[in-house]
Structures are given as structure tokens and as C-alpha cells.
């Protein structure tokens, strides 16, 4: 069972006898933290695009300027940061809120699918696309060869299934984490892939004009698709509920990102770690880490003022960063050997494990390269994919801080090693207890107490 540091803890744990293990753990923590910052930014950017395009849905001449989108983006950032700061004073809020949002999301999924299919089925002027189009057509209009286009197109699917490590970073606040967290991880991927496939098929069958989808008046194909199939008024209502649910999901995304930021600072990985690892005793959250995250997310919005591909860049860089953070523990596991895994785990792949590890690394390596590509060859400056520039800046900052403070402080400051020892002890206790799960429950309380203790410092 890890700490809130997540993947970086696993890397350090598996490579603790290697001289370069702590450096790789540090790199993983930086990339993972950065991935959650940009993922939070991408969620806000998505909802920002939908909110600004609602006006265009009714007025096709309206175009949201860069500064207008930037201001709306900042407003959403402040709102979601504020909700995280205020609402977590009650322990019952986050579980209730997340369940409410989850139920709402499932309901919206069903309503959207049924609304599109029923509307197309009953309206005389609408018709379904044939199965040959949905399952067999291939259209490439971006200028890249088909193979490159296919790999670049994976970014949307990868983005939709990423961030399943959210549960890992909440491990210190989850009961029975040894059993609960693995279940959450595989269920997130399974349910996400299943519902995503169903939703995509429903959308493809409901397309009326491919030109409208490829060149939507709102700039968002999904909005035009819903408006054309369901109708303008009905579509606007559904899209408004979609925006509300998306912003509500953003609360949880920022929650996880702030815990990752706090955990990284607590273990000496960020500049001014002592300051940002503080847990406010009144608000009962890592308020400074939360505000730091909000400021950094807000700065990402500056891209709106000079680029038209902000959403693509943020989406790409968040997916790339999180994908790399998933690959590094796999690398550490292959180097250390599977015998280094703690005994008594509740989710085992057996002999299939090494095969899954190697396939995962090949996938991560290939997609990471192609996700840096722009949407078309020879792009203009405003059409560039600036993901590589943003990612490069973060790597430079991480390297500089490693030599300035990180090599001395990361996982070396007071409490960091103690938490690692406690986590390993919990693993041993859980393994010795066996199937009754008592050790895992005790483990959740043991490490989970670190947040409340930090607030007293």
C-alpha cells in the first residue's frame, strides 16, 4: 500500500537498493504531479469551451475571444478551488458529493444515448448512419499518413481512460485501501471503456452531416451533433446539465491533484516544501497546496491569449505526463523483479503479469511520442501542439530543483522515511493477517493519520 505519493512511492520502494532509485522516484513524482495539474486544467478547459460555445449554439456569428475564454477559465478555476477549500471541512461532504456526481454522470450517459437514438429514429428528416460507416469507414483529412493519424487519434481514447491513479493519491483517506484501491483501478478502466464504446457508437450512428461534425459552428463536434439530432432547445438543456456535471467532476479532479501536490511537498519534492505541506487546522485541507495548484492551473490559461489549440495542448500534455508516470513503476518492477512485490496482495496477474508489463511499456513509449505531434503537418504557430514546450519547461524546472534542494530533501526530510517504513510495515501486517482484511483496515488508519498530524505542525 503506497502513500499519497502514489507511483513515485512504488518506484522508490522497488528500487530502494539502487543508487538511482530515488532520482527516478523524484522524476516520477514531478511528472505525476504535473500530470494532475494539467489534467485539472484540461477539465476546466473542456468546460470552458462548452460554456463559451453555448452562446455560439444560438448565435452562429458569435466567437469567444481569447481573453474572454481566459476570464471564464479563471472564474472556473477559482470556483472549484474555493469549493475544495470550504466544503472539505465536513468529512461526509466529499463521499456524498462524489456519489451525487457519479450517479448524475451515469444518468446523463443514459439520457444522451437514448435522446440521440430516439430522436433520430422518430424524426422523419433524420436518419441513422449505416453500420458500414460506424464500424468500417476510415476518413483521413489531416495530412498525416494513415498510421500516424491512427496513433495521434489515440490521445482522445487515452485521455478518457487516464487518471485512474486518482484513488491511489487518496489512499490515506480511504478505508481498507489494500482491497479497495485495486478494485477501483480496474473498475475505472473497465467501466470507462465499456461506456465510452457504447457512447461513441451511439454518436456515430446519430451523425447527420459529416461536414457539420468535421467543421462545427461551435468548434465542438459533440455540441453540433446533439443540437442537430435532439434539437436546439432540448440539446441546450442536455448540454447545460453536461457542463454542470463536468464542473462537478472538476471538484474531484482538483481534490486529487491537491493531495498529490501535498504529498509531494510533504516528502520534500517541491520548492518550499515545508510551507506547502502544511494542513490547515481550520479548513482541514492542505490549503496552501490547493492554492498553489489553483495558481498554476490559472497560469496555464494564459495560452488562450495567443493560441487556438489550447485544449489540444493541455489534453495532450496531461495524457503524456500521466502515461509516463504509469510506465515508470512498471520499469522499476521489471528491473527489481516481481519477487520484490509485497506478499498477500488482493489483485494478482500471475504468469500474465510480465507480459502485461512489457505490452504496457510498448504502448506508453509509442503513444508518448505521437501525442506530441500537431494535428496536421507543417502547422502555423497558432495551430502548433505546445505540449512538448510545456512539458520541457517542467522537466527543466524539476532538474534544476533536484540539484538545488531535491537531492538533499526528497524522501530525506523528517517524516518522509517514517511514512515509508509505516507503509511497508502495513504491507507486512496485511500479508500476515491474510484474507480477513483486518491488517488492511488498520493500515488505512495508520498512514491516514499523517494528514491530521501534519495539520498540528
Task: Please give the pLDDT value at position 440.
Answer: 34
- For 7, the grid coordinates are 507511483
452 pLDDT higher than 80: no
Phi-psi region of 6 (alpha: psi -120 to 50; beta: other; left: phi over 0): left
Alpha helical stretches, state H, 301-437: 310-336, 352-370, 387-401, 407-409, 416-433
Question: Cα–Cα distances in Å, from 123 out to 130, 201, 221, 284, 417?
Answer: 17, 19, 21, 54, 65
Give the whole-number percent of the chain exceeding pLDDT 90: 54
Task: Please give the pLDDT value at position 425.
Answer: 58
What average pLDDT is seen over the chain?
A: 86
- For 11, the grid coordinates are 518506484
Residues 139 and 210: beta-carbon distance below 8 Å: yes
Comparing 23-27, 271-275, 359-363, which segment has the lowest mean pLDDT?
A: 271-275
Q: Which helix (H) or strand (E) holds 126?
A: none
Task: Please give the pLDDT value at position 445.
Answer: 36
Q: Chain centroid to CA 184: how far?
A: 15
426 pLDDT higher than 70: no
Q: Which band of pLDDT confidence, cut at 50, 70 and 90, is reported for residue 423? A: low
CB contact set of 33 (below 8 Å; sequence gap of 6+): 257, 260, 261, 264, 269, 270
Residue with cell 464504446: 197
Q: Which band of pLDDT confidence, cut at 50, 70 and 90, is reported for residue 134? A: very high
Q: Chain centroid to CA 152: how far?
A: 18
Phi-psi region of 219 (alpha: psi -120 to 50; beta: other; left: phi over 0): left
Q: What's the CA gap between 128 and 110, in Å, rounded?
A: 18
Q: Which of 322, 364, 333 is nearest to 12 (CA)?
A: 333
> Within the chain, what is the greatest distance between any pair of CA atoms?
71
- Which pLDDT tens digit goes with each residue over 150-196? 999 898 889 888 888 988 888 887 888 888 888 989 999 999 999 99
201 pLDDT higher than 90: yes
Long-range contacts of 216-220 (CB under 8 A, 24+ apart): 217/56, 217/57, 217/60, 218/53, 218/56, 218/57, 219/49, 219/53, 219/56, 220/49, 220/50, 220/53
Phi-psi region of 307 (alpha: psi -120 to 50; beta: other; left: phi over 0): beta
Q: What's the CA gap between 43 and 244, in Å, rounded?
A: 12
Task: Please give the pLDDT value at position 436.
Answer: 46
345 pLDDT higher than 90: no
Q: Chain centroid to CA 189: how far?
A: 12
344 or 136, higher pLDDT:
136
Alpha helical stretches, state H, 59-130: 66-87, 93-122
Using alpha carbons only, give the angle 185, 134, 53 rounded to the nearest 5 degrees: 75
- Which pLDDT tens digit goes with each residue over 428-439? 555 454 444 433
Go through the domains of the chain in sequence order and give each one's CATH number: 5-432 (1.20.1740)
Q: Tell me the DSSP string of 186-206.
A: HHHHHHHHHHHHHHHHHHHHH
- For 168, the grid coordinates are 491511489
Q: What's the CA gap between 149 and 30, in Å, rounded?
A: 30
Which phi and psi (to 5°) does residue 415 adopt? 100, -30
Q: What's the CA gap between 40 and 38, in Å, rounded?
A: 5
Question: Cα–Cα distances in Å, from 275 out to 27, 146, 268, 354, 454?
Answer: 21, 50, 10, 41, 11
Q: Chain centroid to CA 213: how far?
A: 26
- Which pLDDT tens digit goes with each residue over 78-108? 999 999 998 877 778 888 998 999 999 999 9
Q: What's the CA gap between 14 and 7, in Å, rounded?
A: 11
- For 132, the grid coordinates are 458500414
First-to-last C-alpha distance (Å) of the chain: 25
Amino acid at each position: 500500500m503506497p502513500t499519497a505519493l502514489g507511483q513515485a512511492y512504488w518506484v522508490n520502494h522497488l528500487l530502494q537498493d539502487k543508487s538511482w532509485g530515488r532520482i527516478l522516484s523524484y522524476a516520477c513524482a514531478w511528472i505525476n504531479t504535473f500530470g494532475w495539474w494539467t489534467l485539472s486544467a484540461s477539465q476546466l478547459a473542456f468546460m470552458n469551451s462548452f460554456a463559451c460555445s453555448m452562446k455560439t449554439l444560438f448565435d452562429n456569428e458569435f466567437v469567444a475571444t481569447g481573453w474572454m475564454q481566459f476570464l471564464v477559465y479563471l472564474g472556473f478555476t477559482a470556483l472549484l478551488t474555493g469549493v475544495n477549500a470550504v466544503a472539505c471541512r465536513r468529512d461526509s461532504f466529499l463521499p456524498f458529493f462524489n456519489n451525487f456526481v457519479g450517479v448524475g454522470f451515469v444518468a446523463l450517459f443514459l439520457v444522451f444515448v437514448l435522446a440521440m437514438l430516439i430522436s433520430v429514429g422518430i424524426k422523419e428528416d433524420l436518419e441513422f448512419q449505416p453500420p458500414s460507416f460506424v464500424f468500417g469507414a476510415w476518413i483521413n483529412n489531416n495530412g498525416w499518413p494513415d498510421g500516424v493519424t491512427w496513433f495521434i487519434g489515440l490521445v482522445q481514447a487515452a485521455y478518457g481512460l487516464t487518471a485512474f491513479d486518482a484513488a491511489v493519491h487518496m489512499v490515506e483517506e480511504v478505508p481498507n485501501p489494500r482491497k479497495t484501491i485495486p478494485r477501483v483501478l480496474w473498475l475505472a478502466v473497465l467501466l470507462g471503456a465499456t461506456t465510452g464504446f457504447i457512447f461513441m457508437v451511439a454518436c456515430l450512428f446519430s451523425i447527420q452531416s459529416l461536414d457539420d461534425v468535421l467543421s462545427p459552428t461551435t468548434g465542438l463536434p459533440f455540441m453540433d451533433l446533439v443540437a442537430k439530432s435532439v434539437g436546439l432547445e432540448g440539446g441546450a438543456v442536455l448540454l447545460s446539465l453536461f457542463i454542470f456535471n463536468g464542473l462537478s467532476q472538476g471538484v474531484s479532479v482538483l481534490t486529487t491533484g491537491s493531495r498529490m501536490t501535498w504529498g509531494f511537498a510533504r516528502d520534500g519534492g517541491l520548492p518550499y516544501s515545508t510551507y506547502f505541506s502544511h494542513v490547515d487546522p481550520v479548513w482541514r485541507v492542505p490549503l496552501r497546496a490547493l492554492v498553489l495548484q489553483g495558481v498554476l492551473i490559472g497560469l496555464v490559461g494564459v495560452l488562450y491569449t495567443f493560441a487556438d489549440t489550447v485544449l489540444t495542448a493541455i489534453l495532450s500534455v496531461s495524457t503524456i505526463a500521466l502515461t509516463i508516470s504509469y510506465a515508470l513503476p512498471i520499469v522499476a518492477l521489471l528491473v527489481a523483479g516481481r519477487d520484490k512485490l509485497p506478499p498477500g496482495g488482493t489483485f494478482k496477474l500471475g504468469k500474465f503479469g510480465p507480459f502485461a508489463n512489457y505490452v504496457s511499456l510498448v504502448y506508453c513509449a509509442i503513444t508518448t511520442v505521437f501525442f506530441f505531434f500537431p494535428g496536421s503537418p507543417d502547422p502555423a504557430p497558432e495551430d502548433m501542439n505546445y505540449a512538448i514546450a510545456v512539458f520541457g519547461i517542467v522537466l527543466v524546472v524539476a532538474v534544476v530543483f533536484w540539484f538545488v534542494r531535491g537531492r538533499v530533501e526528497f524522501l530525506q526530510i523528517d517524516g518522509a522515511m517514517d511514512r515509508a517504513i509505516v507503509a511497508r510495515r502495513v504491507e507486512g501486517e496485511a500479508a500476515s493477517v491474510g484474507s480477513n482484511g483486518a491488517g488492511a483496515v488498520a493500515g488505512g488508519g495508520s498512514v491516514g493519520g499523517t494528514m491530521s498530524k501534519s495539520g498540528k505542525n
